Structure formats: structure tokens, C-alpha cells
Amino acid sequence: MRRSPKDTEASSRKITRRGMVVGGLQLGMLGVLGWRMRQMQVEQADEFRLLAEENRINMRLIAPSRGLIFDRNGIPVAENTQNYRIVIVREEAGDVDMVIERLRHLIYLDPEELERSLREMHRRSPFVPVTLTDQRSWEDIATVAVNAPALPGITPDVGLTRHYPLGEDFAHIVGYVGPVSDYDLNRIEDDDPLLQIPKFQIGKTGVENKYERDLRGKAGSKRIEVNAAGRVMRELGRDSGVPGANLQLTVDNALQNFVEARLTLDQSASAVVMDVRSGDLMAVGSAPTFDPNKFVRGISVKDYGELTDNIYRPLANKAVQGAYPPGSTFKMMVTMAALDTGEISAEDTVYCPGFTELGNRRFHCWKRGGHGYVNLEKSLQQSCDVYYYEMAQKVGVDKIAETARRFGFGEKFDIPMSAVTAGVMPDKDWKRERYGKEWLIGDSLNASIGQGYVLASPLHLAVMTARLASGNAIMPRLIKSIDGVETPIVGAEPLGFNENHLRMVRKGMFAVSNTRRGTGFSARIDDEGRRMAGKSGTSQVRNITVAERARGVTSNADLPWERRDHALYVCFAPYDNPQYAVSVVVEHGGGGSSVAAPIARDILLFAMHGKTPPLDAYPSGQRGRIREMLSKLPVRGTTPSPGSDRA
């Protein structure tokens, strides 16, 4: 049936409209597609190019070289050594268990170390490299490299690890590094991406910890090309980052070694050697000590248990952490306070019958029969307690405390070592705030002989001695320079005490060491140009009952170790031109003059000579014994200097 021209025309109009609609839609789609293609190819080209690159290029952090630490003479005490290791990336390995099993057929893997690494791997993101084993030989690295096609995700690597070449000598000063832990991440506020690298080493104690940011440096990065299986094909670029700052300590490594060796002859002791002119800490010893290298990779439970179970506390830096009653070494502070107030003169005397009565209580002198009449010099020379009981009642504890603080007592010194104590320098307000009680006269008498509430570290005692010797408010300094830039000397200005009063105290200390009735005479230096001035101290750690005193005080040798008195000695030399101050504390060592004084003398002699002391610096009757003692010291690379034996 033929369609009429009218129907044909109408149909034609419909087709044209539909074609236009369809064509319009097609053109619109083409337009949108063209716009999108232009956007992707032109406007977003860089973004998609980067995404394409990331499919074949990985960015990995490079840990910077940790800053080195040197002694004052440029000898390294903390350095970095090469560390060959095997790392795994979980997302590249696929079947981790299978890959590790293959690896175990090629090289030995310690089961305990492997278990720790696997736990670490499952805690980290799958793309983070985790060290399976380190400190490997070059043969192990070569074996893994040759078998790389069968070990997806496994990569031999070389990095740096911390090493302490002088071992135990600097353990308490430099401290040690160890793998970063969750505890570390929760404790410190630091968003450095380096801390997310498993087993990344950070400072845990000592200078390593206090100067962590300076020593750590800034991370570098490397761009590596990988194939579709994730295998590394080549390294495309590297930014090594910024190495950590190098530190130079004020400590002399030879003196430090001698101090540690000398202290080790006793069970538990500490010593500080300080330059009285600059405040430089020449040695800071604490015995027994430990090997910091054991902590670098993570110390074993067995080794750590041996350290923590040791009653002599090898992990504690007793020189700055230990707080002890200073005993009679505190008597110089009472003397300075009394002189400063005008309460005494050099010739004023006090009669010592062996005790002082206060109410119905007796405060005893160490010498049961008393010292008779004593003046300032004799009170220091023979360490008469009664003289200082009387001074304490005249001067009062507040003046004593004020004077002692000017000499460093009660101050937490800003040096980069762990757990530095401020000690305790009590006064009336302190007791009221601490205990809610009023200060008693008996408290003053106890404080006057360095007992009761008074506590000080060997560092405090060294600072006190250096300030007495120099008359200046010198501050201890441990860091000599950072990246070659010298750190300033602080406190070279005068203390503000009358110089004549300081001379009186120094003269009394000289009498201690160089007169026959001096408590430190047996530990004197027999060298006219290097004579020392000193003061012994013996601090009680237990109460002596009336009954015990009546029958005779029990000898330290008859008491358990932990109930024996602490032995202390402070000194400086040369007397006429002071250079070094030394403090020694021997925990539960007994008498200060018999135990601590000989140690202090030996250390002081080494500091002045710069080597093992010559025998002619010792009294002639002691040289045979001294020779034998020095020959047994585990001193690094030195032998006793014979000198000229005039015995």
C-alpha cells in the first residue's frame, strides 16, 4: 500500500527529529569524552604520570649516619660500623612462610631472633622493610644475593650500627642505643619517620639519649625500580640525608680508664674528676660497670637479669645518680657559714670531751675520748664532730644551707647524663613542707656533720671542692664541642666569699693530708710540687643504739656489707696552684681515710701526670704495695711507671 505524500512527509519529519536527538546525544558524549581526555592528558598529566611511576618505582627511607662521639683528645668512644643484614618486605614476599623456609636452607637463622622479627613484621605495614637478621658475614650476603630469584621480598642490605670501642669505660657517660620500641614511641613526642623503621637505633641512656636529636641526623631516601613481581631491578637515585652532629666530650679516655680500673678493685664505688679552672669533667667513674655493646641489638634476658640482680647496681651511674650523706666532707660548708657570719675566727677554740649534750641526748664525736681544745684548722685536720655541733647551734641551719647551696649542694646540674640527682640541702622551710614538722636543734647537729637529711652525689662533692679550690662559681661541663663549635664555660665569676676565709678552709684541708695527725696523712702525696689538700668522710647508714655504744660500736668488718658505713674523700691539687678536684664515694666501704682517700690520691696523681703515677710520688714505705696494686690494674695499654724508688 502506497503511502500518501502527507504520511511520507510526517514520517520524514519524525526521523529527522530522532536523528537530531541521537546525534545530539552522541555529540554530547563525544564532547564529554573529549573534555575528560583533555583533563586527564593535560590538566592531570603530572598526577597520572606519578601514579604510573609509583607502579614501578618505590621510595625507601635511608637512615642517616649517626653522629660520632669523641673524648677530649679526639679518640672515638662511640662510632658506627658496617652491618650486613637481611630484610623482608611482606607484600613483595607473597607466601612469607615459604620464603623464610627457603632462606633457612641457605643460611642459619637464630629461632629467637627470627620469632621477634616475624612479630615485628606482622605489626608493621606490609610495605615496610623488616630486618630478619643482622650482623651477617659477607658469605651469607653473597649466598642470599645469588639465590634472589627464589626469594621474593628478601633483600640483602648493608647499614650502620653503633659500636663502643672502649666498652665499659664510658658506659655510664655515653650510655647506649637500642632498637626503638613502642614504649619509646609512646614516651617521646617525635614524628620523625625514621622512628617507624623497625630496629632503628635511638639513644636510651646517657649522652646518646640526651643528644638524640643532634646525633640522629635527618633521613635520606632512595628511588628503586621494581618489576611487576616487586623485585628490585636497579637504584635510580639516592639522597643520603644529613648525618648526625659529632660530639666531643670533656672526658679524657686514659684517665677515665684508670678511674674505672681503680674503682673496680672495690665492690661498689664512684668518682668524679673536675678541672677547677674550666669545670670540665675529666672523668666520671662508676663501678661496677657494664658493656654497652650488649644493648645495641637488644640485650638478652639472661644478660639483663645478671645486671639487674647484681646488688652492686652496675646499671646505675652512682657518680651523678647516687645521693649519699656527705659525712665529714660537709664540714667545710659549716666552717664557711660560720666564718661568713663572723661567729668564729681562725683561733677560736671549742672543747671536745667526746660528745655534746642536748637535753637528755648525747651527740657523740667519732673519737670516744674527745679531741680536747680544737680551733678551725685542727677541727678539719682531725675531723672533730663536737666543734661542728657547736658551730651549727651558733650559725643555724638556714645559714648553713644558704652557704652550701652556693657551693652547689641541692642543685640538679644540667649535664647530659641520665637521672642526675639534685640531692637534698635541707633547711627549716624544707622540713616543714616535706614532713609538716618543725626543724629541731638536733637536726642541725646531724646536718653539721653531713648526716640526717643532707644528701649529695659525688658530682656535688666534686663541684664543692672545685669551688673551694678556685673561689669561683664554676659549673660542671661534659660537652666540649658540637660539630667543632666549642660550648661555653659557665661560672668563672667569683663566688663572693671572703678570700681569707677560703684560704683558712684550704689550709685546714692541707693539714688533713699533710700533717701526722691529719685523718688523710697515710694517703698523702710525697711530691713537693703536687701536694694535695683533702677531707675524709664516713657516713653512717644505720643507727647506733645506746647499748651498742656502751659495749663498743660494732666494727664495719663485722657487719653485713649493706649495713657498713659509706667511705668518702674529696681533694684538690696542686695545693698552691689547683688544677683538679676529685671526689670518691665507696658504698659501704667503711672509713673514708682508709678506703676512699687512697683511691682519690691515685686518681689525682694520674690526672696530674697524664699516665700511671710514678712510685716516687708515694710515701716510701708504701711503694712496694703500690707497685703490686698498680701492676694488677686492668688499665688499657699502660704499665706502672717505676720512678725513682728512694725506699
Q: Domain locations in the chain?
A: 60-249, 253-610, 611-647
pLDDT band at 13 (very low <50, low <70, confident <90, very high): low
* C-alpha dist (Å) from residue 133 to 101, 115, 247: 14, 11, 30
Considering the chain, what is the average pLDDT of its residues? 87
C-alpha cell recorded at residue 177: 642505643
Q: Could you report the per-residue pLDDT of 352-370, keeping only the tens digit for each?
A: 999 999 988 999 999 989 9
Kindly report the pTM of this predicted structure.
0.84
- The pLDDT of 561-584, averaged and rounded, is 94
Does the domain spanning 253-610 belong to CATH 3.30.200.20?
Answer: no
Q: How far apart are CA 536 and CA 158, in angstroms?
A: 54
Q: What are phi and psi of 357, to 5 degrees?
A: -95, 130
Query: Phi first, then psi: what are they for 513, rounded to 5°?
Result: -95, -20
- For 540, phi then psi, to 5°, come to -80, 145
CATH 3.90.1310.10 fits 60-249, yes or no: yes
Given a cut of 80, is residue 328 above it in pLDDT?
yes
Residue 551 is predicted with a pLDDT of: 61
- Write the DSSP string, 115-173: HHHHHHHHHS-TTS-EEEE-S--HHHHHHHHHTGGGSTTEEEEEEEEEE-TTGGGGHHH
The answer on pLDDT for 645 being more than 50 is: no
The larger pLDDT score, comparing residue 28 to residue 371, is at 371
Say yes or no to pLDDT of 177 above 80: yes
- Is residue 444 within 8 A of residue 390, CB to CB? The reply is no
pLDDT of residue 188 exceeding 80, the answer is no
Q: Helices 441-448 & 385-395, crossing angle to 10 degrees?
A: 130
Q: pLDDT of 69-112, one tens digit each?
A: 999 999 999 999 888 888 888 877 888 888 888 888 888 888 88
Say whether pLDDT at 308 is over 70: yes
Q: What is the pLDDT of residue 123?
A: 76
Task: List, for residues 404-433, the tens digit of each pLDDT value.
Answer: 999 999 999 999 999 999 999 999 999 999
The per-residue pLDDT for range 133-173, each reduced to its tens digit, is 887 888 888 888 888 888 888 888 887 889 999 999 999 99
Q: Is the pLDDT higher at 127 or at 413?
A: 413
* Distance, CA of 291 to CA of 239 (rounded, Å): 34
Active centre residues (catalytic): 328
Using N-to-C axis directions, what is the helix angle for 499-514 and 331-341, rounded to 10°? 150
3-state secondary structure of 73: coil
Instruction: Provide the pLDDT confidence category of residue 47 given band limits of 50, 70 and 90.
Output: low
Q: Which residues pair with 59 in a beta bridge?
A: 223
CA 637 to chain centre: 25
